[in-house]
Structures are given as C-alpha cells and as structure tokens.
Amino acid sequence: MQHAFKTYTLYLPHRQLRLTRPCVMGIMNVTSDSFFAGSRTSTDADIEHRVKQMIDQGADIIDVGACSTRPGATPVSESEEITRVKHAMSVIKRVAPESIVSVDTFRSEVARMAVEECGADIINDVSGGFMDKDMRTTVARLGVPAVVMHMRGTPATMQQLTQYDNVVADVTHELELTLRQWRDAGVTQLIADPGFGFSKTLEQNYRLMYHLHTLHALEVPILVGISRKSMIYKLLQCSPDEALNGTTVLNTVALLQGAHILRVHDVKAAVEARQLLQALTSGEN
C-alpha cells in the first residue's frame, strides 16, 4: 500500500510551509458542542494549555474551529463565531506567535477577519465554498491557501446525501470540479480534503480510505481528518474517548498512501506514527 509522497510548497502570508514530509495539524475547538468533548476549549487557561501542549508534541499547524460542523449540528451565529475566533487567536499569538494557524470556517467574513485582523495563515472550509458564495473570492483576495473539503449539503442534511455510483470516482470528480471553481475565482493554493464522515456511510468511508492514493491525481496536497470520528468508534463499538488507537491505525494507512496533512486531536500519537513510518520506509534506500 506504500505510495510515493509528492512534495509541495505553500506560500503563507509571512513564510513558506514546505510539505517535504507529512504535517500534523492539531485541532483546537473553541466550541461547547464538538463531538469529542476532550477537544473543547473556552477559557484563556484552556486555550493556552492546549496550544503549549500541541506545540510541545510537535504540531506543525494549529486548526482553530469556533463553529461545530458535526453531523446534525446547528451553526452558531456569525458574530459568536467571530468572537470565539478572535479570543482564541489572541491567546495563540501571545503564547506561540510563530505558530502556523488555520481557521476552520465556512463563512467568508470570519475568514477575512481571521487573516486580516488576527494573522491566520490558512482557511479550512468544510463546505468547499458552497455555504457562503463569497468565500472563494474572499480567499483569493486574502492570498492564503485554502483547504477545500468534499461535502454534500450542510452538516444538518449531509448524511441524507450518500448516494454514489462509485464513491471513490465520484468524490474525486466532485473535488476536481470544486477545485476548478476555486481556481476560477482566483485562488491559486489549494489543499483537498475528501471529507471522511461527511455525506458518506461507514462503508463508503473505508472504501475511500483504501483508495486514498487516487486523489493524488488532483495534483494538490491531501489533508485527512478522521480523528476519533464515527467511522472508527461505530465500527469498533466504542466511544470517541476510546477511539485513539483506531485513529492512529487509520492515520498510518493515510500516511502510507501519501497524505500530506493529518488533522488530529492527539498530536503526540500522530507525530509518533509519522516518525515510525519514516524510519520504516528509510529502509527502502
């Protein structure tokens, strides 16, 4: 299952991120309703502790989310999301000013504020630009990289939209069309996320994971976010709290297929998986 790792360079507002090896993106949820309770932060002390922990454990990117997009979630208001992002970013920039920060939002005004006012480096849009018509042109003007995820519908409706002729071919094709729309809007730096758990059944998630390497045909970096998701805990009949081992197994499968970014709750485990796999594959030389 080992596949070649394709290198890319992302040009951030004040530096470069060279993807010469897989990166680990640590999740920071400044929400009260994210599906994994262990990822929730709200106070300055919580955020500061989480930032320091992720940086100490080797996170390459911190991903700030202030509006839950779990299945069936009802989004918070835009003003509330902005307040939460501003709060989290102020703490991050004080504690770890050199950290690379991604902001997980589907709202163009949140994206604008996060980059222009708070110094965010990357925008991570779970809707692929379909939930806010201004997102693509906003990101183009901001000049930052965008993570474009595959999802159908909204978090409230997506699990009713799981009909595919061939989930691998269809997701790849739909992502290709979406990436083209972002390029047409003027966005030149794109990262593709197949959207595990979004508009997909459990079986479809595993078929997509097995064929993840086919997404390299898109010729953009690939982000994988399966950390503690239902595709793991439902199959193993456990809770999100007990899904770390399953997460690490699937992250390793993703790394074997050339994934560029792992979006995770547990930075240490992902960094160790990357380290072990690099030691293993160095034996090929």
- Residue 221 has, within 13 A of its CA and on its CB side, a CA count of 23
Give the tokens for residue 37.
């309770």
Token pair of 22 as six digits = 């897989």
d(CA 29, CA 38) in angstroms, rounded, equals 9
229 is catalytic: yes
Q: Which of 229, 234, 268, 274 is catalytic?
A: 229
Most distant CA pair in the chain, distance: 53
Locus of tokens 């034996």: 283
Alpha helix stretches (DSSP H) within the chain: 44-57, 78-95, 108-116, 135-142, 167-184, 202-210, 230-233, 244-256, 267-281
Residue 17 β-bridge partners: 10
| One-character DSSP codes across 81-101 | HHHHHHHHHHHHHHH-TT-EE
Question: Looking at this protein, which amino acid is placed at residue 8?
Answer: Y
Contact between residue 271 and residue 24 where contact means Cβ atoms under 8 Å apart: yes
Residue 259 · residue 223 · CB < 8 Å? yes
285 Cβ partners below 8 Å, 6+ apart?
none
Q: Please spell the DSSP secondary structure of 207-249, one letter per residue.
A: HHHHTGGGGGGG-S-BEE--TT-HHHHTTTT--GGG-HHHHHH
Both tokens of 2, joined, read 């080992």
Using the structure block, give the residue that is written with the tokens 């009260």: 32
Concerning whether 40 is annotated as a catalytic residue, the answer is no
Residues known to be catalytic: 229, 263
